[in-house]
Structure 1
Amino acid sequence: MTHTSVRGRNRRTPLKAVTAAAVILAVVAGGAYAAKLGPFDRGSDALDPAAGTQARAFLADWSAGRYDGAAARTTNPTRAQDVLRSFTSGLDIDKPRLAAGAAEREDDGTVRVPYTAKMPVKGLGTWTYTSRVPLREENGIWKVDWALELVHPHLSDKAKFRLEREDTSPPEVADRNGKSLVGKEYPSLQPLLARMAGADGAPRGAIRLVDRVTGEIGGTEATFGQRADKDGKAGESATKTTLDAGWQSAADRALDAESGGRNASLVALRIDNGEILAMANTPATGFNRAASGTYAPGSTWKIVTSTALLLKNAVTPDTVVDCPKYLTVGKEFHNVETSEFHGATFRKDFMESCNTAFISLRGKLGDGETGEVARTYFGVGQEWHVGIPSYDGSVPVPKDETEKAAAMIGQGRIQANPLIMASVTATAASGRFHQPTILPGTEDKTSTTALPQSVVAQLKSMMRATVTEGTARVLADLPGDIGAKTGTAEVSEDEPNNGWLVARRGNVAVACVVEQGVTGGGSAGPILHHLLSAVPDDPS
């Protein structure tokens, strides 16, 4: 999208100015231009065909860069040539397109030919305006009656145009406390700054009308790249986000230190309102996997599956649900490292992430029931307005029993990303879905229902047990009442599994995925441990 402003100078490197001089010229006589003037509409020249032909010849020469030819058709070719050349080349205009209309006669006998100018400014866009070519007859020959306003109506002996190109520095973006997020401390954010600032990444600039003596700006004729106010000045404040500079820096450092060179991403957000505190990717190539990635969430999805089962009173944490090594439902499913827990309770199945136990409960839920719970209580699959592009999840109805079995453990066709799973974790911790946002004041079109507090208490208890006794023990030595869920998601038979870990502490929920990380505790665990160790306090 092309905006119509240029950022203020105090926020960017000074603008490069290119001045197009315009001088009052007198025109010498020139011969008539040959017929068939290419793209120029001959229009209706019934008033005097020779006048219209001369005007079109002048515009054709100017458009083609034949400044001497165009100037020769005016009443002062020397000065006309100078101004046409300086106006066109000085404003970096490449191949003007000048379309003439029908000739009009004034009361004083002057003939004027209106034209539309489309001036492509190199690297910025097209400046479009209208003007008129005046002509008068001298000794039976029509000549262009030179005046500055025929080049542009606002050009005069007091005002000229200046092209300003804005520096390509990253747009200013600030965290929730006003601290700048531009810099090497936040590598993951640098490809996202333009998105968060509402810019499209296109070059920016403007054509200003300035006083010939003082250089003072009198107006803005055209802007490229972003919106300007009537004075051509951009807003003075940086775009403010919900991000927290401390959390963001810690997230980037955690990925750098613990990802082992693998693709990984994480999101941290506030539980009470969904505001995103950190969003990080490694490598920081520009594709925001944290918010736009599409991954099977693996066993982290068991938070949603458990919610569906608990809502129906199909199980309680103390219900015995056996956990065998294998279970066949169209194909053989097994647990990580083919573990088994005979006589296990549902709490044990959750904290040890037992696939076979969860799959054995598939008959307790209707085919589309988990998807409905995900949408109704967790907002997954609804339209989110985060403030940047995001993928908001998909939980399709299983096509058969095998796919339903896979969906119980976050496989099959279920797709999510760290943003979604951080939000799922936050909802499980508070009982209320809050649309994640990275820009204050974003629109919220979601509609969800609060979870019963009895279900929330059960989920929090099982997630806490996962840290103290289960697969998320990697976080057990950290201070605070931390709850978590690990996940291992199959990608293909030929690739290692993706590793997941989600956690909540205080008022923050976090989620991390490591591509080809094999297990969640082994790959995503060290990353979140590093992050939570660096930010012991909840954000304000």
Structure 2
Amino acid sequence: MRRVAVVAAGLIILVAAAAFSCAALRGASGPATPEEASRAYFRAWSDGDFSAMRRLVDDPPGDFADRHRALSHALRVDAVGFTPGPLVRHGDEASVDYGVTRHLTGIGDWSFRATLRLVRRDGAWRVVWSPATLHPALVDGGALALARPDAASGAPVAADGRPLPDDSGAQPYLADVGGRYGEDDGVPGWAVEVRNPGRPARQLKVFPGRGAEPVRTTIDRRAQAAADAAVGSASAALVAIRPSTGEIVAVSDRLPDAESAFQGLYPPGSTFKVVVAAALLEGGMTPASAVDCPAVTVAGQRTIHNHGGLALGRVALTDAFAESCNTTFAKLGVAAGTERIRQSAAAFGFGAHFDTGTDTAYSGDFLDPGGDNGLAEASIGQGRVQATPLAMAVVAAAVADGSYRPPRMVPAPLVHAGMARPLPSSAVDGLRSMMRAVATRGTAAHAGLPAGTAGKTGTAEYDAQGHTHAWFIGYRGDLAFAVFVLHGGDGGQVAGPVAARFLAVIKS
């Protein structure tokens, strides 16, 4: 891609949202409520009053105003509008999800969503500012810039040929598709890039030139809208796949790092029990096989605990799966052995190269656990097991269809997707009944999921203090999905309801 210099344009700031109240700061200490602080901040931003904005920020950088001016100049911004959403408060912290539309002179409008975060300090509410306040993909030392693609690039569209909203959670992935498959003739267009230190430049928005044909993706506009609504402003991702084809029909990625739904590797926690259960079923067990579920056990030489001290005693494998008994699966995983678990993981796509049509997409890693202690951890999705949200959506899709299919975001002829690989029917039938039990009477029974949903919750520890990410994977009909909530806590209580909101819209 050929870079170009951009001449600074005059800055005119307009308001595209409803008029904000002139709520003034209450005393020298600052706003007394987060609502006042956010209104004042957006008001100052819409007026281009960087000094007023700075006074509302908790510990602003010394070059606060210069960063805002540099962005406007680099992108030729001559107007900007804000559409704040509802404020969400949790104790001394609050956040506002807001839409931004910037008009780039001679190029067009660029819309996206960002989050304004606030905190109470010494009785006053302040904005917690970071580069992500300007755009979610920006980090310290990074910048947004305009570039000219070498040729006209058709803006990617949905499967029905219609465009997707600029603030969709799929936009970074659409930009990847446009850069890879755009037409090579016509007049070059423009691209907005994020250039973060130590990382390659990444396109955030492509403005196609003249003569370029749009690139059609597999994204379903209704599914995408449902995914975006379900995720909202949470630091989360939802990936949805059509199991019968492997087509990615929605991806809503609001995680802090760019394209983490396809590239971010996280411990999958108990969602990995689907993979372990498949190995157990293929090895001769059935959903009715009797197993032990004590509150605490020793697997290898590792002490394993159940969440919340759960103890079921002697139960069927289905019940241990539905209630997510760590002690059961750690013991059974060690008994099955590393090679059998590794083969099961490979059957679900772990270790595969996903050619989705985007720049990069990772599956998951099941690395050598290094003995029974590591295998006990791996069998409950911890230790040296990692997966992307995309990879876990593929796991759910494989159970739904009975075959592993590589995921793709563009028509099959454009990628090297590979052939579908059937899973053993004994494992598939058992997994389907066990995943239904999770949704009807297990850890996701109170998540509000519609009838016919099958799935698996995951509460994955990511540090020594026991903090957890929240997961829920599942399927309903010919729609499979994975929900991942960063630092979300309990999978059934946090990620499950996100899936329920998504399915409620699709179902209606």
Q: Same fold (TM over 0.5)?
A: yes
Answering whether residue 156 of structure 2 is matched by residue 173 of structure 1, we say: yes
Counterpart residue identity of residue 505, structure 1: R
Instruction: Trace 1:193-272 onto structure 2 (pairs within 5 A).
Output: 193-198=174-179, 235-256=211-232, 259=234, 263-272=235-244
Letter in 2 for 1:370: I
Distance 2:450 2:148 in 1: 51
Match of 2:499 in 1: 528
Take 2:158 and 2:181, find their aligned partners in 1: how far apart are those partners?
Answer: 20
**Which residue of 287, 292, 317 maps to 1:322?**
292
Q: Secondary structure at the match of 2:403?
A: coil
Deviation at 1:442, TM superposition (A): 3.5
Alpha-carbon shift at residue 192 of structure 1 (Å): 3.1
Alignment CA distance shift 1:398-1:193 (3 Å): same
CA distance in 1, matches of 2:181, 2:426: 46
Question: Offset at 1:282?
Answer: 1.5
Partner residue, 2:400:
429
For the 8 Å contact 1:468–1:476, the answer to whether it is kept is no
Tell me, in whole angstroms, the C-alpha distance in 2 between the residues paired with 1:512 and 1:288. 14
1:9-28 counterparts in 2 under 5 A? none
CA-to-partner distance for each residue in 1:178-217, whole Å, 9 max, x for gaps?
A: 1102423x1x22333321102699xx9979xxxxxxxxxx
Q: Is the 8 A contact 2:271 2:472 kept in 1?
A: yes
Matches within 5 A, 1:258-337: 259=234, 263-283=235-255, 287-313=258-284, 315-329=285-299, 330-337=301-308
C-alpha distance in 1 between matches for 2:148 and 2:337:
60
Say whether the 8 Å CA contact 1:383–1:445 is kept in structure 2.
no
Contact 1:467 1:476 in 2 (8 A): no
CA shift for structure 1 position 445: 5.6
In 2: Cα distance, 1:286 partner to 1:425 partner: 24
Taking the aligned partners of 1:404 and 1:420, their CA distance within structure 2 comes to 20
Counting aligned pairs with the same residue, the percent is 35
Q: Deviations over 1:205-256 (max 9, x none)?
A: 979xxxxxxxxxxxxxxxxx99xxxxxx864421110001111111111111
On the 8 A contact 1:170/1:193 being kept in 2, the answer is no
Deviation string 1:396-424 (CA, Å, 9 cap, x unpaired) is: 12202110001111111111011101100
- Does structure 1 retain, via aligned residues, the 8 Å contact 2:449–2:500? no
Partners of 1:427 and 1:327 lie apart in 2 by 31
Q: Find out whether 1:414 has 2:385 as its counterpart.
A: yes
Structure having the higher strand fraction is 2
Larger Cα Rg: Structure 1 or Structure 2? Answer: 1
Partner SS, residue 405 of structure 1 = helix
Give how far 1:391 is off. Answer: 1.1
DSSP 3-state at the match of 1:241: coil
Distance 2:465 2:162 in 1: 45
* TM-score normalized with structure 1 length: 0.59
Does residue 356 (structure 1) correspond to residue 327 (structure 2)? The answer is yes
Q: Which amino acid aligns with 2:277?
A: S
Is 1:466 equivalent to 2:438 in the alignment? Answer: yes
**Aligned in 2, Cα 1:414/1:286: closer, same or farther, shift over 3 Å?**
closer
The 1:165–1:506 alpha-carbon spacing in structure 2 relative to 1, beyond 3 Å, is: closer
- Do the aligned partners of 2:448 and 2:500 also contact (CA within 8 Å) in 1? no
CA distance in 1, matches of 2:485, 2:245: 26
1:137-182 Cα offsets, whole Å, 9 max, x none, are xxxxxxxxxxxxxxxxxxxxxxxxxxx9789999622000011024
Partner Cα separation in structure 2 for residue 488 and residue 477 of structure 1: 18
The size of the alignment, in residue pairs, is: 343
Amino acid at match of 2:248: I
What amino acid maps onto 1:271 in structure 2?
A: P
